[in-house]
């Protein structure tokens, strides 16, 4: 049982907001009491959590004076020192105050845009002081319901201008944290920019190169499922691009309001495949990338063990060999373009009718075997 205890090397981190959330929703009043940010940090540390994530306003109220900020930061640093918990991630609340009701970096009001950039600068200073490894941008209100009100081309240009400035600010101040964009398709806006992982990855490539280089994405399972996409594929593309900075592991039913349920609540299988992706790739080419789950460290560990079982299963290995193993003679036949390769490609005699049946695709058996291993049978 203790095999499932979280260890520091697992690098599980939690947002303070998960603990501080008072359980209010658009149709109902608070169901829990508020706790302070510092208390939340200590509470996480007591449960063996490695790191915490914070919004500026989880720690200090909006409009706090420099002195107020200094005082809170001292308390936070003391709590960190006493408990050993680290600061994993900082991020700016650019969505709660009504000033952001029509967006922050993409607001139509240039004062609001400037105010948002100012607010991020200050949060970056705090994150750097706490040694955060990552600094996240979630554009919660960067979007529209009335399409006539916001030109999407102009909006991206505005977002880029702000992001570039802040990327240079981090660089010039020698803040070492990675920057990261968190995609989400909608809610609280009708449509938000960067609805899916790809939109954020593509946007990053258009930033100033030194900023782009230190910017990645931190996809959240529930956000991907709100867009009806396959988390395995979305995480896979980010990972393959070398841009997976951080993970938010939770769950929800696809294509509904933001439910933020615990990891594996809805789909054990999807949860399993994410853990498998991270396990299979972490030790190959992902050195230095770390992961965290928001609520369910225990399930993560259980699935990690199950990944090992699946990866070692002889029946599956045999079926996968049948499905996946190639003909070595074709390895790299078009990996590098050259006249010789073209000639070779032209000369290959490949009969589609034969190829169509050249290999069994026992996908039903593959999936049934996986189900059995997930159920702990056989």
Is 168 an active-site residue?
A: no
- Count the Cβ atoms, other than its own, within 10 Å of residue 336: 8
Q: Closer CB to its own copies, residue 11 or residue 150?
A: 150
Stretch that binds its own copies, among 46-54, 72-80, 81-89, 91-99 (CB under 8 A): 91-99
Q: Is 185 in the site for its own copies (CB under 8 A)?
A: yes
Q: Which of 89, 134, 265, 291 binds its own copies (CB under 8 A)?
A: 265
Q: Helix or strand or coil: residue 251?
A: strand
Instruction: State the helix-helix crossing angle for 197-204 and 152-172, rounded to 10 degrees.
Output: 60
Query: What's the min distance (Å) between Cβ of 104 and its own copies?
Result: 11
Contacts of 77 (CB under 8 A, 6+ apart): 129, 130
Q: Closer CB to its own copies, residue 177 or residue 197?
A: 197
> Active site residue: 55, 248, 251, 260, which one?
55
**DSSP-derived pairing of the beta strands 261-262 and 215-217:** unpaired
What is the DSSP code (8-state) at residue 36? -
Q: Closer CB to its own copies, residue 84 or residue 375?
A: 375
Is 97 an active-site residue?
A: no
Q: Is 81 in the site for its own copies (CB under 8 A)?
A: no
Q: Which residues in 160-179 contact its own copies (CB under 8 A)?
A: 161-162, 164-165, 168-169, 172
Q: Closer CB to its own copies, residue 84 or residue 350?
A: 350
Contact characters 7-36, its own copies, x per CB under 8 A:
----------------xxxxxxxxx-----
Q: Closer CB to its own copies, residue 69 or residue 117?
A: 117
Which residue intervals of the chain are DSSP H helices? 16-20, 37-46, 56-59, 66-83, 110-129, 152-172, 197-204, 209-213, 221-226, 231-240, 268-285, 297-312, 314-324, 339-347, 352-355, 363-374
Stretch that binds its own copies, among 8-16, 36-44, 77-85, 290-298 (CB under 8 A): 290-298
Query: What's the min distance (Å) between Cβ of 86 and its own copies?
Result: 25
> Active site residue: 10, 29, 56, 58, which one?
58
Contact 121, 166 (CB under 8 A): yes
Q: Long-range contacts: 337-346, Cβ < 8 Å, 24+?
A: none
Q: Helix or strand or coil: residue 318?
A: helix
Pair of tokens at residue 186: 């909608």
Contact 183, 126 (CB under 8 A): no
Stretch that binds its own copies, among 40-48, 72-80, 108-116, 174-182 (CB under 8 A): 108-116
Stretch that binds its own copies, among 5-13, 34-42, 45-53, 272-280 (CB under 8 A): 272-280
Q: Is 209 in the site for its own copies (CB under 8 A)?
A: no
Q: Closer CB to its own copies, residue 80 or residue 273?
A: 273
Q: Is 133 in the site for its own copies (CB under 8 A)?
A: no
- Count the Cβ atoms, other than its own, within 10 Å of residue 277: 20
Total of chain residues touching its own copies, rule CB under 8 A: 147
- Active-site residue list: 55, 58
């Amino acid at each position: 049982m203790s095999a499932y205890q979280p260890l520091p090397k697992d690098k599980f981190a939690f947002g303070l907001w998960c603990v501080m959330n008072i359980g209010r929703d658009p149709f109902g009043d608070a169901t829990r009491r508020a706790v302070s940010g510092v208390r939340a940090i200590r509470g996480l540390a007591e449960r063996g959590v490695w790191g915490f994530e914070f919004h500026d306003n989880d720690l200090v109220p909006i409009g706090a004076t420099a002195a107020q900020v200094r005082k809170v930061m001292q308390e936070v640093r003391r709590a960190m020192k006493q408990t050993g918990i680290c600061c994993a991630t900082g991020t700016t609340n650019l969505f709660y105050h009504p000033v952001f009701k029509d967006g922050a970096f993409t607001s139509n009001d240039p004062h609001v845009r400037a105010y948002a950039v100012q607010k991020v600068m200050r949060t970056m200073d705090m994150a750097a002081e706490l040694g955060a490894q990552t600094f996240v941008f979630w554009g919660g209100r960067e979007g529209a319901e009335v399409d006539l009100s916001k030109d999407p081309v102009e909006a991206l240009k505005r977002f880029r201008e702000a992001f570039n400035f802040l990327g240079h600010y981090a660089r010039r101040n020698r803040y070492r944290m990675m920057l990261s964009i968190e995609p989400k398709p909608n809610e609280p806006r009708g449509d938000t920019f960067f609805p899916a992982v790809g939109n954020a990855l593509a946007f990053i490539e258009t930033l100033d190169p030194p900023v782009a280089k230190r910017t990645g994405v931190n996809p959240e399972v529930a956000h991907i499922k709100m867009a009806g996409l396959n988390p395995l594929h979305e995480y896979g593309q980010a990972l393959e691009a070398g841009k997976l900075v951080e993970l938010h592991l939770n769950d929800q039913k696809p294509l509904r309001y933001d439910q933020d349920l615990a990891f594996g609540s809805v789909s054990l299988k999807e949860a399993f495949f994410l853990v498998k992706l991270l396990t299979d790739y972490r030790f190959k080419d992902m050195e230095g990338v770390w992961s965290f789950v928001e609520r369910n460290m225990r399930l993560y560990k259980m699935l990690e063990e199950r990944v090992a079982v699946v990866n070692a299963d002889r029946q599956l290995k045999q079926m996968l060999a049948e499905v996946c193993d190639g003909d070595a003679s074709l390895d790299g036949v078009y990996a590098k373009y050259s006249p010789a390769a073209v000639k070779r490609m032209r000369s290959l005699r490949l009969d589609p009718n034969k190829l169509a049946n050249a290999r069994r695709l026992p996908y039903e058996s593959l999936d049934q075997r996986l189900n059995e291993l997930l159920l702990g049978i056989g």
